[in-house]
Amino acid sequence: MSEKLRIATTSLAGCFGCHMSLLDIDERLLELVEVAEFDRSPLTDIKHCGPCDIGLIEGGVCNAENVHVLREFRQNCKTLVAMGACAINGGIPALRNSIDLRECLTEAYIDGIGVQNPQIPNDPELPLLLDKVHPIQEVVSVDYFLPGCPPSADTIWKFLTDLIAGREPSLPPELVHYD
Amino acid sequence: MHSTRVEDCKAFVETLIHRYQCNPTELIRILREIQDRYRHVPDAAIEALASQLSLPRSRIVGVIEFYSFLHTAPRGRYDVLLSDSISDHMLGKQSLMDDLCRKLGVAPGVTRADGQVSVDNTSCTGLCDQGPAGLVNGYAVTRLTSGRIDRMVPLINESVPLAEWPSDFFAIDDNIRRADLLLNERPEPGAALAALLERGADALLDEIDRSGLRGRGGAGFNTAMKWRFCREAEGDAHYVVCNADEGEPGTFKDRVLLDSYADQVFEGMTLCARIIGARRGFLYLRGEYRYLLKPLQDLLAQRRQKGLLGDDILGATGFNFDIDIHLGAGAYICGEESALIESLEGKRGIPRNRPPYPVTHGYLGRPTVVNNVETLAAAAAIAVHGGQWFAAVGTAKSKGTKILSICGDCARPGIYEYPFGTPIRDILTDCGAGGTLGIQVGGPSGTFIEPGEYDRRLGFEDLATGGSFMIFDASRSLLDIVGNFTHFFAHESCGFCTPCRVGTSLMKNTLDKIHSGHGTAGDLVELRSLCELIKEHSHCGLGHTAANPIIETLERFPDLYEQRLKAIVFEPGFDLDGALEAARQLTGRDDSAAHLQQVDR
Ligand SMILES: Cc1cc2nc3c(=O)[nH]c(=O)nc-3n(C[C@H](O)[C@H](O)[C@H](O)COP(=O)(O)O)c2cc1C
Ligand code: SF4
Ligand code: SF4
């Protein structure tokens, strides 16, 4: 048997909903691990990505660390996929884009109701926020976009099985129709 | 807002609502008056309007946010807008803008702290032959120079009323350089209506048919056919609308027609009214031409006095018709006929689904003819001189003449009327253009032609134009021009459909990225497919043409783009490290983790 494919996944500025949807392929996970192995992913707790075939990115880019992680994925993954509305458009986290960063942080850490010891966190361990949340394709080049919030398990499954079989992934209308 | 201001505002809204008879279709006019008085539409006014017109608040806010000349936050007591058309840029607009902002101590788009002044950009003001041009509190100013800017600054700072500003600021010339069938003579007011009454509506419609007249607003639909469809359409009322929105950058011939041939335009509307059975008509005048409002209203009053408007026109019992002028509020899309009708009804100017077309379902759902200013003026002349007079000029499919507004790099910009079929080369000779890079015919949504194509001819068969004719000499950069057009469309997209709303912004950003030397081969591929997507999937004409400048140049001059690409896989289109600056300031950090490299090495 030929070597297994390697898949890496990560959540940037996302809610983990897309990862939940990935788990939602249920028993098909067993089929998946027949042919593929997980590299860096919340499922494996591997800290850095090695050379991979497929990288699935959930969430947009909201801080400096997101940029580093995303670049690591881009360097290591042959095929990089924006999974879900946040990765594709910025999604819910990007709602802050119309608000000035200072206002945002002041509200959260200084003026907000019930804030104790008000101060804007500045520990060097913490990644700095970008002034706006960006879709991932504004920071690296992206090969595929999987729409949905989250994309359904069937969508993810159809996409992955197409890709793994060496077919150009294609999603039938019922998987990308939301009304 | 202060409570006395709130009271004052409520009382003012009350009088407006009374004056406009509580009619929600008058919403835009009402909002314009509120904007004039308070320099924005205050919250108190929105509340009062919502309750008294029984409209949801969101509908009113939606309208305010839609139109460029309406605001929810106060503009300066002097609101200066400079025209962003490519022709104004070629005449040095940007340095004047920078100069003005610096001398007044304002940033573009931000009202000065003392509330005295705001300066901003606006789409083409239709004064391209006498630019750089702009608007001060809605009134057109022309031929701006650094000298004029220097004179303007103290007038603003010292609160000199606009009426006391030097009149040369506001001087607007017709610049008619070549007159033909239409511009050569003005029929006597009433002459077309007399012919109509003498010969009857059927005969007159046949005469228009014989002339072969096609719409001058761009699409070139047969005018007699449009009128006939409308006439035959069922409805308890019919309407005539004259489209004077003239928003296509580089077009300014309707302004000249309304300045010097307005009688003829109104006569054309009245003629149409009689033929289709309308009792009411509208002139939809673009907001930029506000200075024409008063003279046009005076002219309407004169026509009423002469019995050319009102009841029993020219003594014909039951020939009742009157015209109302509706001032636009800064939205190019309102030139699209169904968006225009929405706007007339007091709504956001969003194009309707078509069919049904306005000829059967127009204003208030009733059969409506929408015609361009020039079409209506031509119809009046045809009524006087006959269809054959008109049809004898032009080509097989394009009868009569076309009025061009010529601007850009030529010795004599202005208005030129040519028989259809005239070669482009002759036009260039007449206006004194040489050493050209090319001509944009029909505005940003039209076509770019190169010197090798100057034997092509004016006409629906070959080069159609609503009137815009912009000349570029060899010193100009095609990508600058394409960039200006692309920004225009992104700004004017009405926002209704996603392919155009999102697509034009992405297209603008990607083009800018490539133009400024940060693009890669992947961006170019993206840009191509984005352009196709916008063209294929948009809802209306704006979206269908918005990508044309890029599509055309990518096809014909791919090198222009390819030369600028970076030989790397990818670079973000925004300043990554700059995006951390706000956070660095807030946290006081400057360690290495507080910075990002623009390109991943
Ligand atoms: C985006 C867009 C803008 C338009 N702007 C104008 C305009 O400013 N003036 C105009 O007469 N027609 C304009 N049109 C064309 C009108 O929809 C309509 O076809 C025209 O007013 C009909 O009059 P005509 O038959 O006399 O040409 C525009 C169309 C589109 C799609
Ligand atoms: S796309 Fe939806 S599910 Fe996925 S991360 Fe964003 S919000 Fe969560
Ligand atoms: S194509 Fe553009 S202008 Fe036309 S409806 Fe869609 S968003 Fe509005």
- The CATH code of the domain that includes B313 is 3.40.50.11540
Q: How far apart are CA B10 and CA A146, in angstroms?
A: 51
Say how many Å lie between the CA of residue A157 and the centre of ligand 2.
17
pLDDT of amino acid A103: 95
Among residues B441, B445, B478, the alpha carbon closest in space to that of B547 is found at B445
Among residues B8, B62, B7, the alpha carbon closest in space to that of B31 is found at B62
Q: Is the dihedral of CA B15, B16, B19, B24 positive or negative?
A: negative
Partners of residue A75 in chain B, C-beta under 8 Å = 600
Q: Are A132 and B584 inside 8 Å of each other by CB?
A: no
User: What value does the mean pLDDT take over residues A130-140?
Assistant: 97
**Closest-CA distance of chain B to residue A32, Å:** 31
Tokens at residue B60, please? 């009113």
Atom 2 of ligand 2, nearest CA residue: A149
Cβ of B336 closer than 6 Å to ligand 1, yes or no, is yes
Residue B161 and residue B142 in one domain: yes
**Tally of domains within chain B:** 5
Residue B375 and residue B414 in one domain: no
At B51-96, the pLDDT tens digits run 999 999 999 999 999 999 999 999 999 999 999 999 999 999 999 9
At B5-44, the pLDDT tens digits run 899 999 999 999 999 999 999 999 999 999 999 999 999 9
Q: Are B594 and A64 inside 8 Å of each other by CB?
A: yes
Residue B248 and residue B213 in one domain: yes
B187: enclosing H helix or E strand: none
Q: How far apart are CA B77 and CA B118, in angstroms?
A: 8
Q: How far apart are CA B588 and CA A126, in angstroms?
A: 13
pLDDT of amino acid B298: 98
At B366-376, the pLDDT tens digits run 999 999 999 99
Q: How far apart are CA B187 and CA B529, in angstroms?
A: 52
Q: Are A64 and B587 inside 8 Å of each other by CB?
A: no
Residue B138 and residue B227 in one domain: no
User: What value does the mean pLDDT take over residues B281-306?
Assistant: 98
pLDDT of amino acid A20: 98
Phi, psi angles (nearest 5°) of residue B82: -105, 140
Cβ of B375 closer than 6 Å to ligand 1, yes or no, is yes
Nearest CA in chain A to B520: A141
Residue B22 and residue B156 in one domain: no
Secondary structure (3-state) at B251: coil
Domain boundary among the residues B131, B150, B173 is at B173
Kindly report the CATH number assigned to the domain that includes residue B467: 3.10.20.600
Q: How far apart are CA B379 and CA B195, in angstroms?
A: 12
Domain boundary among the residues B153, B173, B193 is at B173
Please state, for a pLDDT cut of 70, what percent of chain B lies above it: 100
Contact B415, B439 (CB under 8 A): no
Residue B322 and residue B201 in one domain: yes
User: What value does the mean pLDDT take over residues B279-286?
Assistant: 98
Residue B513 and residue B384 in one domain: no
**What is the residue range of B41's domain?**
3-66
Q: Are A121 and B580 inside 8 Å of each other by CB?
A: no
C-alpha angle B570/B571/B572, rounded to 5°?
Answer: 125
**Bridge partners of residue B134, in order along the sequence:** B82, B141
Secondary structure (3-state) at A75: helix
Pairing mode, strands B280-285 and B239-244: parallel
Residue B256 lies in a domain: yes
Residue B103 lies in a domain: yes
Residue A33 CA to chain centroid, in angstroms?
20
How many contacts (CB atoms, under 8 Å) link A and B?
Answer: 60
Helix B478-492 vs helix B498-515: crossing angle, to nearest 10: 150
Q: How far apart are CA A142 and CA A138, in angstroms?
A: 9
Please state, for a pLDDT cut of 90, what percent of chain B lies above it: 98
- Residue with more model confidence, B1 or B405: B405
Residue B243 lies in a domain: yes
Contact B195, B204 (CB under 8 A): yes
Among residues B322, B349, B326, B324, the alpha carbon closest in space to that of B337 is found at B349
Confidence of residue A2 (pLDDT cuts 50, 70, 90): low
Neighbours of A152 (CB within 10 A): 17
Residue B169 and residue B183 in one domain: no
Q: Which residue out of A92, A95, A133 has the highest number of ligand 2 atoms within 8 Å of its CB and is therefore the one to mutate?
A: A92
| Best residue in B587, B590, B591, B598 for a mutation probing chain A (most A CBs within 10 Å) | B587
Q: Is the dihedral of CA A92, A94, A97, A99 positive or negative?
A: positive
Nearest CA in chain B to A100: B582
Residue B570 lies in a domain: no
Atom 8 of ligand 3, nearest CA residue: B494
Contact A6, A50 (CB under 8 A): yes
Cβ of B372 closer than 6 Å to ligand 1, yes or no, is yes
C-alpha angle A120/A123/A128, rounded to 5°?
Answer: 75
Q: Which of residues 138-157 of A touch B (CB under 8 A)?
A: 138-141
Residue B126 and residue B16 in one domain: no
Atom 22 of ligand 1, nearest CA residue: B371
Secondary structure (3-state) at B543: helix
Contact A60, A115 (CB under 8 A): no
At A139-150, the pLDDT tens digits run 999 999 999 999
What is the number of the ligand closest to the CA of B495?
3
Edge-to-edge, what's the strand order for the sheet holding A52-58? A36-38, A5-11, A52-58, A77-83, A144-146
pTM over 0.90? The answer is yes
Cβ of B221 closer than 6 Å to ligand 1, yes or no, is yes
Kindly report the CATH number assigned to the domain that includes residue B524: 1.20.1440.230
User: Residues in chain B whose beta carbon is closer than 8 A to a beta carbon of chain A?
Assistant: 520, 522, 569-570, 572-574, 576, 579-584, 586-589, 591, 593-594, 596, 600
Confidence of residue B4 (pLDDT cuts 50, 70, 90): confident
Q: How far apart are CA A56 and CA B172, in angstroms?
A: 61
| Best residue in B568, B584, B596, B597 for a mutation probing chain A (most A CBs within 10 Å) | B596
Among residues B151, B117, B158, the alpha carbon closest in space to that of B137 is found at B117
Say how many Å lie between the CA of residue A88 and the centre of ligand 1.
36
Domain boundary among the residues B141, B173, B205 is at B173
Nearest CA in chain A to B589: A122
**pLDDT at residue B215 is higher than 70:** yes
Q: What is the mean pLDDT of chain B?
A: 96
**pLDDT at residue B520 is higher than 60:** yes
Q: Is the dihedral of CA A142, A144, A148, A151 positive or negative?
A: negative
ipTM computed for the complex: 0.92
Residue B104 lies in a domain: yes
Among residues B310, B299, B342, B270, the alpha carbon closest in space to that of B67 is found at B342
Task: Decide if A75 touches B, using CB distance below 8 A.
Answer: yes
Pairing mode, strands B134-136 and B78-83: antiparallel
Please state, for a pLDDT cut of 90, what percent of chain A lies above it: 96
Say how many Å lie between the CA of residue A20 and the centre of ligand 2.
10
Task: Decide if A70 touches B, using CB distance below 8 A.
Answer: no
Q: How far apart are CA B12 and CA B6, in angstroms?
A: 10
Residue B592 lies in a domain: no
At B570-598, the pLDDT tens digits run 999 999 999 999 999 999 999 999 999 99
Q: How far apart are CA B37 and CA B33, in angstroms?
A: 6
Residue B234 and residue B118 in one domain: no
Tell the burial category of B322 from Cβ atoms under 10 Å away from its Cβ (0-12, 13-18, 19+). middle
Residue B223 and residue B330 in one domain: yes
**pLDDT at residue B1 is higher than 60:** no
Among residues B376, B288, B284, B292, the alpha carbon closest in space to that of B338 is found at B284
Tokens at residue B127, please? 């004064």
Domains for chain A: give ranges and CATH numbers. 5-94+131-175 (3.40.50.700)
First to last CA, chain B: 54
**pLDDT at residue B218 is higher than 60:** yes
Residue B73 lies in a domain: no
Q: What is the mean pLDDT of chain A?
A: 95
Q: Which of A127, A131, A140 sits opposite B579 (nearest CB)?
A: A131
Residue B150 neighbours by CB under 8 Å, 6+ apart = B103
Residue B596 lies in a domain: no
Nearest CA in chain A to B587: A122
Contact B587, A121 (CB under 8 A): yes
Edge-to-edge, what's the strand order for the sheet holding B368-372? B322-327, B280-285, B239-244, B368-372
Per-residue CA distances from A80 to A6, A73, A147, B570 (Å)? 12, 8, 14, 14
Pairing mode, strands B401-408 and B468-473: parallel
Atom 20 of ligand 1, nearest CA residue: B217
Q: How far apart are CA B588 and CA B601, in angstroms?
A: 27
**pLDDT at residue A1 is higher than 60:** no
At B340-356, the pLDDT tens digits run 999 999 999 999 999 99
Tokens at residue B392, please? 């004898």
Residue B338 and residue B201 in one domain: yes
Q: Which residue out of A10, A12, A18 has the highest number of ligand 2 atoms within 8 Å of its CB and is therefore the one to mutate?
A: A18
Atom of ligand 2 nearest to the CA of A58: 5
Phi, psi angles (nearest 5°) of residue B283: -105, 115
